[in-house]
Every structure is written in C-alpha cells, then in structure tokens.
Amino acid sequence: MNARGRQEGNAVTQALAQIGLCGLFLLTLLAAVPRSFRYVRETIRQLWFVGAMSLTIIMVCGLFVGMVLMLQLYHVLSIFGGTSASGMVVALSVYRELGPVITALLFAGRAGTSITAEIGLMRATDQIDAMELMAVDPIAYVATPRFLAGVIAMPLLACVFCAMAIFGGHLVGVSWLGIDNGTFWSNMTAEVDVHTDIVNGVLFKSLAFGAVVSLIAVFQGFTTPPTSEGVAYATTRTVVASSIAILALDFVLTAFLM
Amino acid sequence: MSQKRSSYAVGTGLFIVFGFTALAYLATQTTSVANVHMGASYTIEANFANVGQLKERAPVKVAGVRVGQVQSITLAPGKEIAEVKLAIDKRYETIPVDSVASIFTSGLLGDQYVGIQYGNSKKDVADGGTLALTKPAQQLEEMLGKFFGAGGVADNLGGTYSVTANFTNVGSLSVGAPVKMAGVAIGSVQSVQADPVKLDARVTLAIDKRFNQIPDDSAAAVFTSGLIGTQYVAIQPGGSLDALKDGDEMILTQSAMQLEDLIGKFLVNGSPGDKTNAGTGKSSDTPAGKH
C-alpha cells in the first residue's frame, strides 16, 4: 500500500508495479471481507451512496440510449424492410453490450471518482492513520464495504439501465415511429434468451465490471499521494483506468461468453 | 444518527428491490420466457410438405390478425412431412374443419407465419384436431426457377450466333443475363458496351442456332423479372420474312423501364413539369384519371 513504491524505474516497470500492487490490494480486500461483516451498516450506507444515488443518471441515460438506438436502427432497417426486427436488435445490443458497458462507464464516473476522492482525502487528512491508532482496520472499515457495495450495485444498476433502454426503444419505436406493439414484443421474446443474454450478458458482465471499477477506485484512493494535487490526479486515473479496463474486459468477456 | 441510518437502509432497500424488479422484468417479459405463459389455448395440428423458414412461436393469423402461435414443428416419423402444432387462443374456437392453413411470408423479406383461411364447413376443428388442407411455404428459389425457366441452357449448346441491339438505357442489364422469346430462354447477353459514336448502349446477344427463324424486324426489350428480379432481354418477333443472321443489328429496341421514371410518370402526370417529356406532352394537358 506504499504509494512511494512506484516512484522508481521506467514507465514499464511502473505500470507493472501498479498492476501488481492492484492485484495484491484485491487479495487484501477479499481477505478483509469476513472482518468487514462487523461493519455491515457501512456497506449498506455505501450501497445507498453508489447504488441508489446513481439511479437517476443511470435511468436517464438508459432511456436516451434506448431511444437513440431505436431511431438509428429504424432508419437503417427500413432500407431492408426489416423495421419489425428493430425492437429485437435494441434488446440484444443493450443486453449484450451497451447495458453493462455504459452502466459501468457511468458508474466509474459517478461513483468511482467519489470513492477515490473520499478515500484520498481521508488519507490526506490522516483519518486513515487515526483509524489505525484506534485499532479500526481501515481496509475492513473503508475499503471492503465500498468494494462490496460496488459489486452488488453494478448488476442492479445494469438491469435498471436495460429496462429503461427497452422502455425508451418502445417509446420511440411503437409510439413515435409506428412499429406494431405486438411485433415489437414478439420479435424480442422470440430471439432474446434468458441464459445467454440476461445472465451471461447483463448480470455476469456487470458483476465483473462492478468489481473492476470498485477495485480501481478504492485502490487509487488508498495509494494516492496525500496532497490535494495527488487526490485530483488519483481521481483522473480512476476514470481513465476504469474506462480502459471496462472496454478491454468487455472484449475478453464477449470472446469467452459468445 | 439512527434516523439517518434508517433512511440509508430504506433507500438502499428500495434500490435493491427496484434493481431486482428490473431484472425480473427483463427476464420474464423480454425473453423467450414470456412465451411460455400464454392465455388459455387449444392445439390443432397441420401437416405441411415444406415449412420453409417457419420457426416455433411464429404467429398464426386469420385475416391478418394474430390468433395464436406455432407450438412445435416436428418431422413425421418415416415421412417427408412436417407436423406443425398450432396453439390457438381459446377466444377463436370456431375454425371450420375445412379451413386451409398456408405458410406465408410477411413482406418480401419478413418472417414466415401460418395463415388460416376459413372454409365453409359447419363443423369446427376440435382441440387436438387436424387441418387437412395445407399449402406449403413458397420457396423463393423455386419461384425464381420458374421465372428463368431453363436460363443459361443456351450457353451449353455451343452453337450460337450473335446479333447486336442498341438501347438508350439498359438499366442494370448484366453480361450473361438471359435472352428470352415468349418467356423461354433462347440465349444470353454476351456483352454490354457503351457506343462511343451513337452514345447509347450496344448489347451483343448470343442466340441459340436452333432459333434461326427470328424475323429481322423483331424488337428487343429490356425487361425485369418480377419486382426485384434481374433484368433480361426479351425478343418480340416481328412479321418480316427474312430471318436474323449472325452479325445483324436489331433496329427496334425498347430500353429498360426505370421504376423511378414509371412512378414519376404516375405521380406527376398532368403537372406542368411533365410537358418537357417527349411524346407525353400532349396527353399531360388533360390530367389523367379525371372525367
């Protein structure tokens, strides 16, 4: 957890050290899970903060993603006379890719940054050291609850995002562009499968993204230099690293799950 | 503090409930699970010689209205017959036993569905009964085959002779397209070139030697097979006593009809802008369709 450990060496060794530290930090977090059961209220408070408070942005974004997706698909599919399939394509693309990925990107921006900034400031103002003096394990009290809350919140948020996207697609497709309501749903239900699309697509991916984003956010917060500049830098790094990790992991997961 | 804590707890609880509600909604309403739970329905059977691309859960329609869905498609054991079970909504119980079940395609490229045309019988088909009269799916390939007939056969016979024809517009006529007389292929298009002098399209046709009695005043026209089919050259025989010989040119030609032009003529017929169109200028003074 020593932030100064990565000051030496060139860029490659620094990056490797960063990844290594992050991996070790994950093990520390997981090891602290049983100890953090004492602080279950803290986990719930974090869940409220990263999950429930993110609902607004997730719902609004989901709605608009579904709407714009339907608008685009309708115009492309009308070339081939296949507009009746647009509801199904909206559902499949949202479940398999857009839902988990956009939710995770928004989650990194909305919740990941604030976790990093909060922990970073705790470090800068010596609150973490104070906890250690009071014999409160800062990993079990600060890090693990936030990590667990992120892992739990992401799949739920992704589900809400997908539901809103379908609603938005329905709004534009059926109410505005005049796709038949029955066709919209029957084509969707004919092609969407619970296991491949909902479980493997939405749930599994968003669970993985939730773990990665929360891990990066907590790790960046804990390893930030205890200065105001360091906190700002760590917050930026959380967004950048999370976004890259989400999109790269998405490709890997898709390749494995398909 | 405890007040604040409980508000966190309630908010978090609401969030979790909301998330799981969304999950349940996604899983049950937008996936194949939704099709398992149907309203009260009864099953009738229909045997088809060919179901084409018909899928399970495809709609069953009467007069275009959905009355049920395809429950299962199985091959009858030992026979080349597809047994299709149709789950029909209980509300539509009165289907005459002599009704005809056909497999249709929605639109040109759409999904296939089962259409039921009512018969005249007083007896209705019962639960588990069979519709004896069926029409199999139309295979596009068979239909195209009918259009083209023995298209390309002329290529194999070796003995062909060439005639040329000049068109002002060949549309999307391509090399190898059939040449037909009375709808039967008698040759193929050998080359399509732009004429550098006359500034039109010069098409060379290779015609089977067996058809050497074609009058030399016959007309060649570029037609389209069906609405979206490929284009071909049709020869309309004339009345001359002399026959076309190798290397002759066909004088009378009719260019490809452009669908856009055609529709344009329908739509703007009678409007002032159409007067520039040679040949139709006069008739367009009196709007068509008005008496």
Residue A240: other Cβ atoms inside 10 A: 12
Q: Which chain A residues contact residue B14 at CB under 8 A?
A: 52
Mutate to test the interface with A, among B6, B26, B53, B114 (most CBs of A within 10 A): B26
Query: Which among B20, B30, B33 has the least Cβ separation from residue A91?
Result: B30
**Chain A residues in contact with B34 (beta carbon < 8 A):** 185, 189
- Would you call B30 and A185 a contact, using CB atoms and an 8 Å cutoff? yes
Q: Please list, in sequence order, all residues whose beta carbon lies within 8 angstroms of the beta carbon of residue A42, skipping any fewer than 6 positions away.
A: A36, A141, A145
Tell whether the model's pLDDT for residue A69 goes beyond 60: yes
Give Cβ neighbours of residue A163 (< 8 Å, ≥ 6 apart).
A62, B22, B25, B26
A189/B30 touch (CB, cutoff 8 Å), yes or no: yes
Q: What is the ipTM of this complex?
A: 0.75
Which DSSP letter does residue A200 get?
Answer: I
pLDDT at A104 exceeding the cut of 90 = yes
From B14's Cα to the closest Cα of chain A, the distance in A is 8
Chain B positions touching A189 (Cβ under 8 A) are 29-35, 57
HEC string for A230-246: HHHHHHHHHHHHHHHHH
With tokens 């009678």, the residue in question is B270
Shortest CA gap B83–chain A (Å)? 20
Beta strands in chain B (DSSP E): 41-48, 59-62, 65-75, 82-89, 100-105, 112-117, 130-131, 133-135, 160-167, 178-181, 184-194, 201-208, 219-224, 231-236, 249-250, 252-254
Tens digits of per-residue pLDDT, A173-212?
988 888 888 788 888 887 888 888 888 889 999 999 999 9
pLDDT in tens, A132-173: 899 888 888 899 999 999 999 999 999 999 999 999 999 999
The 10s digit of each residue's pLDDT in B189-229 is: 888 888 888 788 888 888 888 787 888 888 888 887 766 66
Q: Does A226 touch chain B (CB under 8 A)?
A: no
What DSSP assignment string belongs to B30-57? SSGGGGTS-SSEEEEEEEES--TT--TT
CB–CB of A107/A47 below 8 Å?
no
Where does residue A185 rank: exposed (0-12), middle (13-18), buried (19+ CB within 10 A)?
buried
- Asked whether the predicted pLDDT for residue B145 surpasses 70, the reply is no
Check B15 against A202: CB less than 8 A apart: no
Q: Which residue of A has its CA nearest to B34?
A: A189
Q: Which residues of B touch A194 (CB under 8 A)?
A: 27, 31-33
By the 10 Å C-beta count (0-12 exposed, 13-18 middle, 19+ buried), B144 is classed as middle
CB pair distance less than 8 Å for A202 and B20: no
- Sign of the Cα pseudo-torsion (A70, A184, A166, A241, in order): negative
